[in-house]
Amino acid sequence: MKSDLRTLDSAYEEITHSRSRRAAKGALALVVATSLAACMVGPDYRKPALQVPEGFKEGVDWQRAEVNPQAAISSTWWRMYGDDQLNGLVEQALRANQSIASAEAAYRVALATVESSRASLFPVVTAGLSGARSGGNLAGLEGSGTSSTSVPASNSVIASGTVSWELDLWGEVRREVEEAKANAEASDAQLAGERISIAASVATDYFQLRQADYDIRALQEQQDIYGRILVMTQTGLKEGFASNDDVLNAQENLQTVIADLQTTETTREQDEHAIAVLTGTPPESFSIAPDPDYRFPSPDVPPALPSQLLERRYDVVSAERTAAGANASIGVAEAAYFPTLTLSAEGGFAHNTFAQLFTVPSRFWTLGPALAGTIFDGGERTAAVHKARATYDEDVATYRNTVLTAFQSVEDSLSSMNHLRAQEEAFARVLDSSSRLFASQQAQFNAGASSQQNVLTQRLTLIQAQESVRDTQALLAESNVTLVKNLGGGWQGNDAEMASAPAAASSPASKTATQPVPARSAD
């Protein structure tokens, strides 16, 4: 502050030696305004401290590395699944989804708020032109005996301009700009989050629909087998080697499969409707052809960086930027303690004829500063500062909790994928055993050592084992999408690599498990 005072003193000494006293005062005022405008009340923002883990509990190969978010973020992560139809659906959703359109509009509102706040840093200039003609009779007071007087008509023309500038002495406007920019960045993160959320929803619903495609075919096959077993049991009841209880059990099994089939068909239809809405299409005009032989992708998860989660996950970024905006609002509230200085000037021309309006004798001007400050407000400003600080503390706590929740969600996804892979391997072994048993039953039936009903029963067991493997693969693909969402994006190096990379195959166990088993007629 002492250096500022010395600067002002030296400036004043130089100015007083100038030829024009008016120029000296103007220059001194400019130096004062510039020096004071450098002040900004309120705390400068520092990113809240966080404890970032070295790795993930459920991903032992994931280690911390140097932060380089752009090397891992991919804007087209869904292409790693190698499904052209899925690519088209996601890209259509990103173009037409109304939730994304709403978030994009909110982001534009935030940008406009930044521009509006920044405009307060500059003077306001207005101009006007007016004209009037007046005249008439002035009547005397009633009963006073005074006669009326005629006033000749006259003209007046005024052209004027005004300049008003409230100097940002204490940084209030700059803090408002800082707050608006942070809020705009938070809105931008929310837009990115909406995009990844919609893309993940499309991918998840798509994989659930493909899972339903396989389940429907499996249930239809089971329905056919249970129907044949019921007919056999009813025949056995007539011939005396089956009981009525056997018939009732066969009927119950058939009806249970029929009920499960209806539930699965409902699920598929609802998944299709959900995808239609996500892509901005009325469900009535939208359909996806069934594909019971769909191969579920499960790309390998490479080592990732825990620190990158804080750089790119949308809710973490949004929460951190919200805290930054709240910090700036403290400065806005504290600036209310200090007076405001407004510089205003008005000038123009006034005359009774337009032809003589813009002449030297017709000109007029006023120039002067206005200093205003609040002396007593009953504690309103103090309450505003307390509120701003409390809001900042709340947003910092929200930010830290968001980070913890982000790491939790990634841990949950990794845990789910780990156990689903083990489950897939177990079901693959069950499928292998069921395939051998079915082949054995067929061989015994062909040799006349086993009944047709035993073969059909073993065929049901085989179908259910196949269904368990496929359902687990579908859940694994869905869990992979959830992991992508929880990480805030894909992990491919760049879009070109992703577009050209083939879909990763499932584990060796799943390859064996999903091979179609040749079905021989049991007749």
Mean pLDDT score, 448-458: 92
Query: Per residue in 372-409, pLDDT tens?
Result: 888 888 999 999 999 999 999 999 999 999 999 998 99
Exposed/middle/buried for 363, CB within 10 Å: 0-12, 13-18, 19+?
middle
Per-residue pLDDT band for 505 (boundaries 50, 70, 90) equals very low
Report the distance separating Cα 283 and Cα 278, nearest Å.
10
Report the distance separating Cα 97 and Cα 281, nearest Å.
9
DSSP at 337: T
Q: Do residues 40 and 175 touch, judged by C-beta distance below 8 A?
A: yes
Query: Per residue in 102-157, pLDDT tens?
Result: 999 999 999 999 999 999 889 999 999 888 877 766 555 455 555 566 667 778 88
Q: Where are the beta strands (DSSP E) in 374-457?
A: none
The answer on pLDDT for 59 being more than 70 is: no
pLDDT of residue 422: 95
179: left (phi over 0), alpha (psi -120 to 50) or beta: alpha
Q: Do residues 44 and 178 touch, judged by C-beta distance below 8 A?
A: no
* Most confident by average pLDDT, 26-30, 339-343, 460-464: 460-464
Per-residue pLDDT band for 185 (boundaries 50, 70, 90) equals very high
pTM of the full structure: 0.78
pLDDT of residue 70: 40
Q: What tokens does 359 get?
A: 């002449």
Q: What percent of the chain has pLDDT over 70?
A: 77
pLDDT of residue 32: 47
List all residues 6 or more positions away from 392 whose beta carbon is below 8 Å from its beta carbon: 323, 326, 327, 329, 330
pLDDT of residue 74: 53
Q: What tokens does 471 get?
A: 């359902």
Q: How many CB atoms lie within 10 A of CB 141?
A: 7
Q: Do residues 321 and 186 touch, judged by C-beta distance below 8 A?
A: yes
CATH of 41-121+168-203+272-338+373-523, one of 1.20.1600.10, 3.30.200.20, 3.40.50.720, 3.40.50.80: 1.20.1600.10
The answer on pLDDT for 502 being more than 50 is: no
List all residues 6 or more positions away from 15 whose beta carbon is below 8 Å from its beta carbon: 23, 24, 25, 27, 28
Query: Per residue in 480-495, pLDDT tens?
Result: 999 889 888 765 544 4
C-alpha angle with apex 277: 276 to 283, nearest 5 degrees? Answer: 50
User: Which amino acid would we find at residue 498?
Assistant: M
Domain boundaries, the chain: 41-121+168-203+272-338+373-523
Q: What is the maximal distance between C-alpha atoms in the chain?
A: 142
pLDDT of residue 260: 97
348: left (phi over 0), alpha (psi -120 to 50) or beta: left
pLDDT of residue 275: 97
pLDDT of residue 255: 97
Per-residue pLDDT band for 323 (boundaries 50, 70, 90) equals very high
Report the distance separating Cα 430 and Cα 409, nearest Å.
31
